[in-house]
Amino acid sequence: MHTLSRRQLVLLVLLTLVWGINWPIMKLGVTGFPPLTFRTLCMWLGLPVLGLVLVWRRVPFRIGREHWRELAVLTVFNMFFWHTLAILAIQSLSSGRAAILGYTMPVFSAVIGALWFGQRLGLRAWAGVGAAALGVLLLWHEVGVLSSRPTGVLMMLLAAGTWAVGTQLMRRTTIAAPTLAIAFWMTLVTTLWMSLLSVLFERQAWAPPSAPVWGAIVYNALGVFAFAQVVWLMLARDLPPIASTLSVMMIPVLGVFSGAWWLGEVLHWQDWAAVVLVMAAIAMVLWPPRSAAARVAAPRGG
């Protein structure tokens, strides 16, 4: 269990808002536009902004040569799979359902942490995992629709699973460098990777982006790659994995409802029930234990 600081709480709220409403924005951006190229343009625009943030905050860019291999592993599991598969999958799924499948990540992460990394979870944490999993199952009720698009479903689940591994690895990284510097180099390498994929597979489909697509690109460049991605890596590195993962479970909920409002995606009673379950999961993981709360409330001696 972990109590968020005020700064972490503010960053988490902003992260939830930026990433949550990005799902319908991404859906809009890749509708009629090559998805790998869309993601590549977002990253090329966001990367210089991220670099300027490091310069402004006087954060050193250097990563020691002895850490390059670990940095490569972190990049593959945190960014390569996620950014490639998620942007391809969202073309065949509604933005809300893509968000739900993508955010099975917290459930994957908790189970991987317990089985693979020997992370000890208390009863309340397992209850939070169960509530989150049930919320995902409730939202994933259009089985007929999803099963007609198996490739998109499988890509999103694979993206979520690899991201979960990356989150666990980020928490345990031995790289002696600021998270901003790690995020910059991970983003740079992933930008080159996405550029290569877009040239190999989408060059024949290249066309000038329309005004709405440009808006989605700019939003992703500034909101996602220059802000949200960095904040997530900071939370994943600073908080216990169970806290950092389940604390972002409101993102798919926001994705579902923003998609319904903006794109007209249909909501069902399961969507509303999942909101309650997700909120319960967050509370069970992040609410301080009674003994900790009592220590905070107790006056200190003189």
Q: What's the per-residue H, E or C state across 260-285?
A: HHHHCCCCCHHHHHHHHHHHHHHHHH
The whole-angstrom separation of Cα 14 and Cα 117 is 30
Long-range contacts for 110-116 (Cβ within 8 Å, ≥24 apart)? 110/241, 110/242, 110/245, 110/246, 112/164, 112/165, 112/168, 113/168, 113/241, 113/242, 116/168
Q: What is the pLDDT of residue 78?
A: 95
Half-sphere exposure at residue 91, Cβ-oriented, CA atoms within 13 angstroms = 15
Instruction: Return per-residue pLDDT of the chain as tens, 302 residues.
Output: 456 678 888 888 899 899 999 999 999 999 999 999 999 999 999 999 999 999 999 999 999 999 999 999 999 999 999 999 999 999 888 888 788 888 778 778 878 888 888 777 778 778 877 887 787 777 665 555 555 557 888 898 899 999 999 988 998 899 999 999 999 999 999 999 999 999 999 999 999 999 999 999 999 999 999 999 999 888 888 776 566 666 677 788 888 888 888 888 777 777 778 777 877 777 776 665 555 444 433 434 33
Q: What is the pLDDT of residue 122?
A: 74
Residue among 75, 25, 30, 67 at smallest CA distance from 233: 75
Residue 118, by phi and psi: left (phi above 0), alpha (psi -120 to 50) or beta? Answer: left
Q: What is the pLDDT of residue 255?
A: 85
Read off the pTM: 0.84
Q: What is the pLDDT of residue 296?
A: 39
- Tokens linked to 234: 């900071």
